[in-house]
Structure 1
């Protein structure tokens, strides 16, 4: 079975297997497996742009080493350029009797078949002390390959399990945050509803109280007028019959006093300083809104309130009217207060968007 078939049987994707084999230059199963583990979370690039690792360079016994510039740079990276790469090349050429069959990491004692594997080990482990060795890297037996595959599967399974656990913890944390945010928002909504209900109830109570006072004042005025008319009729009848009208001075002054009293009561109600004005606003489209505003607020604030309730209203083009008493408000009235327009303590407005 080829290295590609072994990697495919382990469950790796075909594109990743081809990438690993090309990137490691087909140096064997172990480099390909290490490459797949290291690049597990990276996207697979275009294989045409992948550069294969340099093949193993061997030196014939008794011959000279043929090392090009690229290999010199690789050797510099592996050996840390100790003593100069030129001196090492000269020493390797002079030592014709001993053929270098592998590269050994003096930090951990591992041996590698070629410089590419040694470079890969250096990048992964951080070791930088290497030397040539005559010890030959023996190929893995079937038992060792099976053990390697089992270890790799176990390692990948552990990584997947850790990642799944981390994602589950993150999902639980996000769900807890979402639930808390939803709960807090519901509490805020309930509090706003309660405050709005209290505010509306208070406004209705004040409106009823003011209406009751206004009705009482009007009733008093009507009674005073009735009494004044009755006294006036009795006085005129007494004069026609030539009879003296008892307490004429008091009778004359009494209606005036009653009228003055009722007039004072009426003017007191009319001139009372209402801090709030309750408005019922009806749109020509059929929608109706009720709100309470400051009596000193301009009529434009009513237009802005409607614009905040529905997108069909434009503050600059809306117009207002009143059916009783009949009145159409102009653009100039938008800057006048509700008190100045006679809309206090309550009024019904017709709004045309």
Structure 2
């Protein structure tokens, strides 16, 4: 005949749990072990190995024969409902119970099979409930993971957008600085060109004046003839510099006794005769128009 341990192994219980059940029920039978296994299947450490108690020295006095005791209790009976239990674990859900010397009737093969089926159904139901719980927990964790991943992706895209905007702003700034640099170079080239052109014209005018002086020495010796008081000088002035704007010809009548400073004003624009070629600068500002040969009329070019 198979032992209770063998039967429980055939039922599919782990050996560690079987050993704990048989030890806890103190060999009260298969039913007591099944009840214990059903009550303690969710205990923490149920599958941990059994710790063996250290050996104790037996005192010689303990070996003496103990006085006869009453028969040991074989079961527990609920005082309220009268139901019989094989162990204290099963009776713990009842408020009032007492010990009984009557042993619990062992299960028949059919009862064992039915009990096993019941235990297996309970185990399957609990496993399914745990599986459903784990699945729901996994679903919640996946939702949390996806949300965290989406937030991380949003932050990453935001940072990437900010970096792109910074790069665009930097490129725009570099293009603007490059444009300003090219403009300054262009302005410098234009300024140098104007300066060379003005120097060329000035040198050409000086050369023409020297040639004119060499050709007409008598005119330099004779000096500028004086004109009678009250005569006028009609001057036609043409701006020759872009900085003066397009204001066309200026024609004005001055007294021949007025000075060149009266014509140019405070800014003292430069004036020059085209023929015969002659320029009027700062040294001519205090001379009269008659002394400069600009009366009774003259055509002048004005520059800054």
Tell me which interval the TM-score lies in, with the shorter structure as reference length: 0.5 to 0.7
CA distance in 1: counterparts of 2:101 and 2:37, whole angstroms? 29
**What is the distance in 1 between the residues matched to 2:80 and 2:109?**
29
State the structure with more CA Rg.
2
The equivalent of 1:106 in structure 2 is 79
**8 Å contact 1:23–1:50 — kept in the other structure?**
no
Q: CA distance change for structure 1 residues 251 and 189 in 2, over 3 Å: closer, same or farther?
A: farther
Q: In structure 1, the residue corresponding to 2:76 is in which secondary structure?
A: strand
TM-score (norm 2): 0.57
The Cα offsets for residues 231-262 of structure 1, whole Å up to 9 and x where unpaired, read as 223323433552654355699984xxxxxxxx
For residues 122-143 of structure 1, give each alpha carbon's deviation from its aligned partner in whole angstroms, at most 9, with x where no partner exists.
44x1x34123557653322222
Q: Deviations over 1:153-190 (max 9, x none)?
A: 11111111111111111112222222232233333333
User: Equivalents in 1 of 2:97, 2:17: separation in Å?
Assistant: 30
Residue equivalent to 1:120: 89
Q: Confirm whether residue 66 of structure 1 aligns to residue 69 of structure 2.
A: yes
1:321: which partner in 2?
Answer: none
Which residue is 2:47 aligned to?
A: 44
Closer, same or farther: CA 128–17 of 1 in aligned 2, 3 Å: same
SS in 2 for 1:170: helix
Partners of 1:235 and 1:245 within 8 A in 2: no
1:149 to 112, 116, 123: 116
Rounded Cα–Cα distance in structure 2 between residues aligned with 1:14 and 1:143: 24
Specify whether residues 211 and 48 from structure 1 end up closer, same or farther in structure 2 by C-alpha distance, changes over 3 A only: closer
- 1:170 aligns with 137
Superimposed CA distance per residue, residues 35-79 of structure 1 (whole angstroms, 9 cap, x where no aligned partner): 22333243434434379xxxxxxxxxxxx9737xxxxxxxxxxxx
CA distance in 1, matches of 2:23, 2:75: 22
Deviation at 1:18, TM superposition (A): 1.9
**Given that residues 30 and 106 in structure 2 are in contact (C-alpha distance below 8 angstroms), is that contact kept between their aligned partners in structure 1?**
no
Gap runs ≥5 in structure 1: 52-63, 68-91, 93-98, 255-353
3-state SS, counterpart of residue 279 of structure 2: coil
| More moved, 245-254 vs 34-43 | 245-254
Aligned equivalent of 1:201: 168
The secondary structure found in structure 2 opposite 1:32 is helix
Q: Provide the C-alpha distance between the structure 1 equivalents of 2:167 and 2:13, rounded to a whole number of angstroms.
A: 69
- Give deviations 1:100-158, integer Å, cap 9, x for gaps: 76532113322245xxx1x32344x1x34123557653322222222211111111111
Task: Tell which deviates more after alignment, 203-212 or 243-252.
Answer: 243-252
CA distance in 2, matches of 1:195, 1:35: 66
In the other structure, the counterpart of 2:279 is 246
Alignment of 1:226-241 (within 5 A): 226-241=193-208
Which residue of structure 2 aligns with residue 22 of structure 1?
Answer: 23
Structure 1 pair 18/240, CA: closer, same or farther in 2 (3 Å)? same
Distance (whole Å) between structure 2 residues aligned to residue 251 and residue 213 of structure 1:
35
Could you list the runs of 5+ residues in structure 2 that have no partner in the other structure? 55-66, 213-276, 283-299
Whether the aligned pair in 2 keeps the contact of 1:104 and 1:110 (CA below 8 Å) is: yes
The DSSP-based 3-state class of the residue aligned with 1:246 is strand
Higher relative contact order (CA 8 A, sep 6+): 2
2:8 maps to 1:4 = no
